[in-house]
Amino acid sequence: MLREIVLDTETTGTDAKGGDRLIEIGCVELVNHIQTGRTFHRYINPQRAVSEGAFAVHGLSDAFLADKPVFADVVDAFRDFCGDGRLVIHNAPFDVGFLNAEFARFGAAAPPAIDLEAVVDTLIMARRKHPGAANNLDALCNRYGIDTTRRTKHGALLDAQILAEVYIELLGGKQTSLGLGMVEVKEAVAVEEEGGEPVTVGVRKVRSRLTPEEQARHEAFLAGLGAQAIWRDYLGEEGSA
Protein backbone atom coordinates (compact mmCIF):
# COMPACT_ATOMS: atom_id res chain seq x y z
CA MET A 1 0.00 0.00 0.00
CA LEU A 2 1.32 3.43 -0.97
CA ARG A 3 0.43 6.27 1.40
CA GLU A 4 1.18 9.84 0.34
CA ILE A 5 0.51 13.24 1.87
CA VAL A 6 -0.17 16.12 -0.53
CA LEU A 7 0.91 19.27 1.28
CA ASP A 8 0.67 23.01 0.83
CA THR A 9 1.49 25.98 3.06
CA GLU A 10 0.89 29.71 3.27
CA THR A 11 3.45 32.07 4.79
CA THR A 12 4.09 35.64 5.93
CA GLY A 13 6.40 36.17 2.95
CA THR A 14 8.81 34.37 0.67
CA ASP A 15 12.06 34.39 2.69
CA ALA A 16 12.24 31.56 5.23
CA LYS A 17 15.91 32.25 5.95
CA GLY A 18 15.13 35.93 6.47
CA GLY A 19 12.57 35.22 9.18
CA ASP A 20 9.29 34.75 7.34
CA ARG A 21 7.05 32.16 9.02
CA LEU A 22 4.35 29.60 8.29
CA ILE A 23 0.77 30.70 8.85
CA GLU A 24 -1.21 27.80 7.36
CA ILE A 25 -0.65 24.09 6.66
CA GLY A 26 -3.01 21.94 4.59
CA CYS A 27 -2.58 18.21 3.91
CA VAL A 28 -4.58 15.62 1.97
CA GLU A 29 -4.06 11.88 2.38
CA LEU A 30 -3.78 9.61 -0.66
CA VAL A 31 -3.72 5.82 -0.49
CA ASN A 32 -2.70 4.15 -3.73
CA HIS A 33 -3.22 7.53 -5.44
CA ILE A 34 -6.84 7.84 -4.23
CA GLN A 35 -8.02 10.59 -1.87
CA THR A 36 -9.23 8.95 1.34
CA GLY A 37 -11.06 11.99 2.68
CA ARG A 38 -8.62 12.45 5.58
CA THR A 39 -7.15 15.92 5.79
CA PHE A 40 -5.07 18.04 8.15
CA HIS A 41 -5.55 21.78 8.34
CA ARG A 42 -4.24 24.38 10.78
CA TYR A 43 -3.83 28.15 10.86
CA ILE A 44 -0.76 29.30 12.77
CA ASN A 45 0.14 32.49 14.62
CA PRO A 46 3.50 33.45 13.09
CA GLN A 47 4.34 35.93 15.84
CA ARG A 48 5.32 38.45 13.20
CA ALA A 49 3.51 40.61 10.65
CA VAL A 50 2.24 39.29 7.32
CA SER A 51 3.77 41.15 4.39
CA GLU A 52 1.51 43.13 2.06
CA GLY A 53 2.51 40.94 -0.88
CA ALA A 54 1.67 37.72 0.96
CA PHE A 55 -1.63 39.13 2.23
CA ALA A 56 -2.62 39.96 -1.36
CA VAL A 57 -2.11 36.28 -2.25
CA HIS A 58 -3.88 34.51 0.62
CA GLY A 59 -5.87 37.18 2.47
CA LEU A 60 -4.82 36.01 5.95
CA SER A 61 -4.45 39.09 8.12
CA ASP A 62 -2.50 39.69 11.32
CA ALA A 63 -5.80 40.14 13.16
CA PHE A 64 -7.16 36.81 11.90
CA LEU A 65 -4.00 34.96 12.93
CA ALA A 66 -3.59 36.63 16.33
CA ASP A 67 -5.58 34.02 18.29
CA LYS A 68 -4.31 30.97 16.40
CA PRO A 69 -1.89 28.47 17.95
CA VAL A 70 1.84 28.86 17.41
CA PHE A 71 3.73 26.26 15.37
CA ALA A 72 5.03 24.50 18.49
CA ASP A 73 1.43 23.73 19.46
CA VAL A 74 0.55 22.05 16.15
CA VAL A 75 3.80 20.36 15.13
CA ASP A 76 3.09 17.05 16.91
CA ALA A 77 -0.36 16.72 15.34
CA PHE A 78 1.11 17.60 11.94
CA ARG A 79 3.88 15.01 12.20
CA ASP A 80 1.45 12.37 13.50
CA PHE A 81 -0.81 12.94 10.51
CA CYS A 82 2.04 12.70 8.02
CA GLY A 83 3.57 9.67 9.70
CA ASP A 84 5.76 7.81 7.23
CA GLY A 85 3.71 8.95 4.24
CA ARG A 86 5.61 10.28 1.25
CA LEU A 87 5.16 14.03 0.85
CA VAL A 88 3.87 15.42 -2.46
CA ILE A 89 4.44 19.17 -2.89
CA HIS A 90 4.40 21.67 -5.76
CA ASN A 91 7.71 23.54 -5.78
CA ALA A 92 8.88 21.50 -2.81
CA PRO A 93 11.99 23.57 -1.88
CA PHE A 94 9.73 26.46 -0.86
CA ASP A 95 7.44 24.55 1.54
CA VAL A 96 10.17 22.22 2.82
CA GLY A 97 12.41 25.23 3.44
CA PHE A 98 9.74 26.83 5.63
CA LEU A 99 8.95 23.61 7.50
CA ASN A 100 12.61 22.89 8.20
CA ALA A 101 13.13 26.49 9.35
CA GLU A 102 10.27 26.02 11.83
CA PHE A 103 11.76 22.73 13.02
CA ALA A 104 15.17 24.36 13.49
CA ARG A 105 13.68 26.87 15.93
CA PHE A 106 13.30 24.04 18.45
CA GLY A 107 17.08 23.89 18.82
CA ALA A 108 18.35 20.65 20.35
CA ALA A 109 14.78 19.33 20.54
CA ALA A 110 14.13 19.92 16.83
CA PRO A 111 12.28 17.20 14.88
CA PRO A 112 14.27 15.60 12.05
CA ALA A 113 14.51 17.85 9.02
CA ILE A 114 12.54 16.82 5.93
CA ASP A 115 14.80 15.34 3.28
CA LEU A 116 14.00 17.16 0.06
CA GLU A 117 15.22 14.17 -1.96
CA ALA A 118 12.44 12.05 -0.44
CA VAL A 119 9.69 14.48 -1.51
CA VAL A 120 7.74 14.18 -4.76
CA ASP A 121 7.92 17.61 -6.41
CA THR A 122 5.02 17.98 -8.83
CA LEU A 123 6.62 21.07 -10.37
CA ILE A 124 9.55 18.92 -11.52
CA MET A 125 7.08 16.30 -12.80
CA ALA A 126 5.14 18.96 -14.72
CA ARG A 127 8.27 20.47 -16.27
CA ARG A 128 9.34 17.05 -17.50
CA LYS A 129 5.92 16.29 -18.91
CA HIS A 130 5.26 19.77 -20.36
CA PRO A 131 8.66 21.32 -21.15
CA GLY A 132 8.54 24.97 -22.09
CA ALA A 133 4.94 25.42 -20.88
CA ALA A 134 3.62 27.27 -17.83
CA ASN A 135 3.49 24.78 -14.96
CA ASN A 136 2.15 26.71 -12.00
CA LEU A 137 -0.91 25.24 -10.30
CA ASP A 138 -3.40 27.44 -12.15
CA ALA A 139 -1.88 26.57 -15.54
CA LEU A 140 -1.95 22.85 -14.75
CA CYS A 141 -5.58 23.06 -13.64
CA ASN A 142 -6.48 24.75 -16.92
CA ARG A 143 -4.55 22.13 -18.87
CA TYR A 144 -6.28 19.22 -17.15
CA GLY A 145 -9.75 20.75 -16.85
CA ILE A 146 -9.74 20.85 -13.04
CA ASP A 147 -12.34 23.18 -11.53
CA THR A 148 -10.79 26.10 -9.63
CA THR A 149 -13.87 28.29 -9.26
CA ARG A 150 -13.67 27.81 -5.46
CA ARG A 151 -10.20 29.34 -5.45
CA THR A 152 -10.62 33.10 -5.11
CA LYS A 153 -7.54 33.29 -2.85
CA HIS A 154 -4.72 30.87 -2.15
CA GLY A 155 -5.48 28.57 0.79
CA ALA A 156 -3.32 25.69 2.00
CA LEU A 157 -6.01 23.00 2.31
CA LEU A 158 -7.87 23.93 -0.88
CA ASP A 159 -4.61 24.12 -2.82
CA ALA A 160 -3.55 20.72 -1.44
CA GLN A 161 -6.88 19.24 -2.56
CA ILE A 162 -6.47 20.74 -6.03
CA LEU A 163 -2.84 19.61 -6.19
CA ALA A 164 -3.92 16.06 -5.35
CA GLU A 165 -6.08 16.09 -8.50
CA VAL A 166 -3.24 17.57 -10.57
CA TYR A 167 -0.81 14.96 -9.23
CA ILE A 168 -3.03 12.10 -10.40
CA GLU A 169 -3.25 13.69 -13.85
CA LEU A 170 0.53 14.01 -13.97
CA LEU A 171 0.76 10.31 -13.17
CA GLY A 172 -1.43 9.53 -16.16
CA GLY A 173 -5.07 9.80 -15.15
CA LYS A 174 -7.70 9.46 -12.48
CA GLN A 175 -8.68 5.80 -12.83
CA THR A 176 -6.19 3.51 -11.09
CA SER A 177 -8.37 0.37 -11.04
CA LEU A 178 -11.69 -1.00 -12.26
CA GLY A 179 -13.06 -1.17 -8.72
CA LEU A 180 -15.67 1.47 -7.96
CA GLY A 181 -16.78 0.38 -4.50
CA MET A 182 -15.42 0.72 -0.99
CA VAL A 183 -11.69 0.44 -0.47
CA GLU A 184 -10.52 -1.15 2.77
CA VAL A 185 -7.26 0.24 4.09
CA LYS A 186 -5.61 -2.00 6.67
CA GLU A 187 -3.44 0.49 8.50
CA ALA A 188 -3.29 1.77 12.05
CA VAL A 189 -3.40 5.55 11.83
CA ALA A 190 -4.02 8.43 14.20
CA VAL A 191 -7.05 10.39 13.04
CA GLU A 192 -7.19 13.89 14.44
CA GLU A 193 -10.39 15.83 14.16
CA GLU A 194 -10.32 19.62 14.28
CA GLY A 195 -10.31 20.63 17.92
CA GLY A 196 -10.26 17.04 19.16
CA GLU A 197 -7.79 14.46 20.38
CA PRO A 198 -6.06 11.94 18.11
CA VAL A 199 -7.90 8.64 17.97
CA THR A 200 -6.11 5.52 16.74
CA VAL A 201 -8.16 3.34 14.44
CA GLY A 202 -7.40 0.11 12.66
CA VAL A 203 -9.28 -0.58 9.43
CA ARG A 204 -10.66 2.41 7.57
CA LYS A 205 -12.95 2.37 4.59
CA VAL A 206 -12.77 4.95 1.85
CA ARG A 207 -16.27 5.91 0.86
CA SER A 208 -17.33 5.30 -2.72
CA ARG A 209 -17.89 8.47 -4.73
CA LEU A 210 -20.77 6.87 -6.64
CA THR A 211 -24.35 7.82 -5.90
CA PRO A 212 -26.77 4.91 -5.25
CA GLU A 213 -28.21 5.41 -8.74
CA GLU A 214 -24.75 5.33 -10.35
CA GLN A 215 -23.84 2.22 -8.36
CA ALA A 216 -27.02 0.49 -9.52
CA ARG A 217 -26.29 1.36 -13.16
CA HIS A 218 -22.73 0.11 -12.77
CA GLU A 219 -23.90 -3.21 -11.33
CA ALA A 220 -26.48 -3.59 -14.10
CA PHE A 221 -23.76 -2.95 -16.67
CA LEU A 222 -21.52 -5.61 -15.11
CA ALA A 223 -24.37 -8.12 -15.03
CA GLY A 224 -25.01 -7.49 -18.71
CA LEU A 225 -21.44 -8.39 -19.58
CA GLY A 226 -22.02 -11.98 -18.54
CA ALA A 227 -19.57 -14.56 -17.31
CA GLN A 228 -17.35 -14.42 -20.38
CA ALA A 229 -16.17 -10.81 -20.00
CA ILE A 230 -12.42 -11.12 -20.41
CA TRP A 231 -11.52 -8.41 -17.90
CA ARG A 232 -12.83 -10.66 -15.12
CA ASP A 233 -9.92 -13.01 -15.82
CA TYR A 234 -7.47 -10.25 -14.95
CA LEU A 235 -9.30 -9.11 -11.83
CA GLY A 236 -9.95 -12.64 -10.60
CA GLU A 237 -13.69 -12.04 -10.37
CA GLU A 238 -16.23 -14.74 -10.93
CA GLY A 239 -18.71 -14.12 -13.72
CA SER A 240 -22.36 -13.55 -13.05
CA ALA A 241 -25.06 -15.48 -14.83
Residue 152 binned pLDDT confidence (cut-offs 50, 70, 90): low
pLDDT of residue 216: 80
Question: Mean of the pLDDT values across residues 118-125?
Answer: 98
Q: Is residue 159 annotated as involved in ligand binding?
A: yes
Q: What is the pLDDT of residues 161-191, one digit of tens each?
A: 999 999 999 999 764 444 444 444 444 344 4
| Predicted confidence (pLDDT) at residue 226 exceeds the cutoff of 60 | yes
Q: Is residue 67 annotated as involved in ligand binding?
A: no
| Predicted confidence (pLDDT) at residue 159 exceeds the cutoff of 50 | yes
Q: What is the pLDDT of residues 30-69, one digit of tens each?
A: 999 999 999 999 999 999 999 999 999 999 999 999 999 9
Listed residue (66, 58, 51, 56) closest to 14, CA to CA: 51
First to last CA, the chain: 33
Q: Which CATH superfamily is domain 3-207 in?
A: Ribonuclease H-like superfamily/Ribonuclease H (3.30.420.10)
Between 24 and 147, whose confidence is greater?
A: 24
Between 207 and 71, whose confidence is greater?
A: 71
Distance CA 35, CA 77 (A): 20
Between 104 and 182, whose confidence is greater?
A: 104
pTM of this prediction exceeds 0.85: no
Listed residue (76, 17, 26, 68) closest to 46, CA to CA: 68
Query: Do the strands 22-31 and 120-121 form a parallel or antiparallel pair, or are they unpaired?
Result: unpaired
Secondary structure tally for the chain: helices H, strands E: 9, 7
Active-site pick, 33, 41, 130, 154: 154
DSSP-derived secondary structure for 168-194: HHHHT-S---S--S-EEEEEEEEE--T
| Predicted confidence (pLDDT) at residue 194 exceeds the cutoff of 70 | no
Beta bridge partners of 20: none
Active site residue 154: yes
| Predicted confidence (pLDDT) at residue 196 exceeds the cutoff of 60 | no
Helix intervals (H) in the chain: 52-58, 62-65, 75-82, 92-104, 122-129, 137-144, 156-171, 212-225, 231-235
Q: Is residue 165 annotated as involved in ligand binding?
A: no
pLDDT of residue 209: 53
- In the chain, how long is the greatest CA-to-CA distance? 69
Domain ranges within the chain, ordered by starting residue: 3-207, 210-241
The per-residue pLDDT of the chain, averaged, comes to: 83
